[in-house]
Amino acid sequence: MEYDVVIVGGGPSGLAAAIRLKQLAAENDREISVCILEKGGEIGAHILSGAVIDPTALNELIPDWKDKGAPIHTPVTDDQFWTLTETGASKIPNWTLPKLMNNHGNYIVSLGRVCKWLGEQAEAMGVEIYPGFAAAEVLFNDAGAVIGVATGDMGIGKDGEKKGEYQPGMELHAKYTLFAEGVRGSLSQELMKKFNLRDGVDPQKYGIGIKELWQIDPAKHKPGLVTHSQGWPLDSKTGGGSFLYHLTNENNDALVAVGFVIHLNYENPWLSPFDEFQRFKTHPHIKPLFEGGKRLAYGARAINEGGLQSVPKLSFPGGALIGCSAGFVNLPRIKGTHNAMKTGMLAAESAFDALKTDRQHDELHAYNDGWKKSWVFNDLYKVRNVKPGLKWGMTLGTLHGGIHMWMNDLGLGKLVGWTLRHGKPDNEYLKSADQMPKIDYPKPDGVISFDKLSSVFLSNTNHEEDQPVHLQLRDASIPVKHNLARYAGPESRYCPAGVYEFIDGDDGAKKLQINAQNCVHCKTCDIKDPLQNIHWVTPEGGGGPVYSVM
């Protein structure tokens, strides 16, 4: 199948790119064929974010989004920041916080529903969208330029043999291919290596975000309230914090999105991000909000945290990286949708200019250079020293980052001319299990706190069981001989879905069991595995979670 532009991924950046291409085509009275491949069963199925969105990019792309019925109903009305101890809570006065942290003018949304709406706008403009088809392979021409992608075969059994319902993958050829896979996209990782896109930049840094959606007692509901916290249950050396967003929908349901983010450069292999989140909800300041409520949904996703220092080169012959495939999250603001959409729009503009002059398969230098002149660069530049400063601990690191942001607010940003570096990647931080304190997590009560398997059930995760395992081990001996022996098997804890279990084999020795059907596609294993032995590849198209209301 031949297209002018193929976009891999139906998230905010990919959809924004497609819409912008069609807008430019209409403005210039030119026909452009655009296709989006989405591995989720529907647009929005694999989208997970808090989410409080900055509408700047959406305002540029679709200025009349309100009139067009965008599912954006809850403006932020109140910001609160708290520091938690094991039993207490202290509110940080808003006047002490940099203006950048102010959420007024932003909206609390279900990002999955926003993406579904964006997909409808794109299709109405003539974009072809194929959900349930995972791009599994990058295609190259003899000169080494990207000329498109191929989808994975359907109907392959665990044994690698074709089943009765086998359908071969299809090739989609394009003059330009934009990769909008999201955090730690498998094809994006391949392209970074092939074209040396990470040369001269810091390692990407990550966090894991775990989220639940609750329906609470309407008497406790405060639509528009945004609350963040740091501190307990994490120690002072472990970065992370919580969010609580009171939102509503067209049915005026009393909804709260609650989540916890833990930076994946943590040292203690006994730490379980999932259990830290469950423990957080039992805090005496937090628990009353959920008493009498009902948990509706669950999910988890990795988050790019490297910021400016970690953005790779974005263009290569035949294509470009956009959105979280490259990493444009503003960590202090906990926002990336606006930057993801804008980079998609910038790439679309560069690709359109190339197509106008009948170019194809060359490099979109204008995009790689142009984003540095956009507000995306400025957004990340102001906060570039916040994440690396956390190496001094949460207290000193937060103070350091706050001072930097205040200096920008006061117009003194030029006095901070230096840029701190990130150092090593997150998988290199774990210390031996015998050097770190074991963490005794309380058993879930099934009311406020829950176990992994009941949580995965609420994520609507499903994979065809008889298919090749998409969580591949480069060396099958490493999990037991290295990870279990040195780190007490951290994969059984950093995975928020119960995918990895160490069990007794037939010979009585321990072995790693991979429950691939549980995978919620968060990519944490691909990031945190100490020797990078776990390789996440796309499963059969349509598999995975369905975050329809998240």
Catalytic-role residue among 492, 495, 524, 538: 495
Do residues 343 and 13 lie in contact, with contact meaning Cβ atoms separated by under 8 Å?
Answer: yes
Q: Per the omega criterion (within 30 degrees of 0), is the bond before 51 cis?
A: yes
R_g of the chain computed on alpha carbons = 23
* 279 annotated active-site: no
Do residues 427 and 529 lie in contact, with contact meaning Cβ atoms separated by under 8 Å?
Answer: yes
- CA 3, distance to chain mean position in Å, is 28
Catalytic-role residue among 188, 242, 310, 337: 337
Strand extents, DSSP E, 132-170: 135-140, 146-151, 154-156, 162-167
- CA 279, distance to chain mean position in Å, is 23
Distances (CA, A) of 407 to 29, 156, 400: 47, 57, 11
Maximum separation of any 2 CA atoms in the chain, in Å: 70
CA atoms within 13 A on the CB side of 85: 4
- Rounded to whole angstroms, how far apart are CA atoms 275 and 376? 35
- Rounded to whole angstroms, how far apart are CA atoms 184 and 282? 32
* 198 annotated active-site: no
- Rounded to whole angstroms, how far apart are CA atoms 14 and 158? 32
- Rounded to whole angstroms, how far apart are CA atoms 550 and 40? 14
Distances (CA, A) of 122 to 115, 270, 294, 400: 10, 45, 35, 43
Local structure of residue 171 (DSSP, 8 states): E
- Rounded to whole angstroms, how far apart are CA atoms 501 and 510? 10
Phi, psi of 288 (to 5 degrees): -60, -30
* 337 annotated active-site: yes
Do residues 37 and 207 lie in contact, with contact meaning Cβ atoms separated by under 8 Å?
Answer: no
Catalytic-role residue among 35, 115, 324, 519: 519
- Rounded to whole angstroms, how far apart are CA atoms 109 and 81? 20
Which tokens sit at 550? 């998240």
Catalytic-role residue among 35, 115, 324, 525: 525
Catalytic-role residue among 13, 35, 49, 279: 49
* 525 annotated active-site: yes
* 519 annotated active-site: yes
* 324 annotated active-site: no
Catalytic-role residue among 20, 113, 301, 333: 301
Which tokens sit at 244? 């609580």
* 49 annotated active-site: yes
Distances (CA, A) of 247 to 68, 78, 285, 337: 20, 12, 20, 18
DSSP conformation letters of 497-549: TS-EEEEE-TTSSEEEEE-GGG-----HHHHH-TTS-EEE---STT-B---TT
Sequence-distant (6+) residues with CB within 8 A of 537 are: 136, 186, 470, 472
Catalytic-role residue among 295, 461, 522, 524: 522
Where in the sequence numbering do the catalytic residues fall?
49, 301, 337, 495, 519, 522, 525
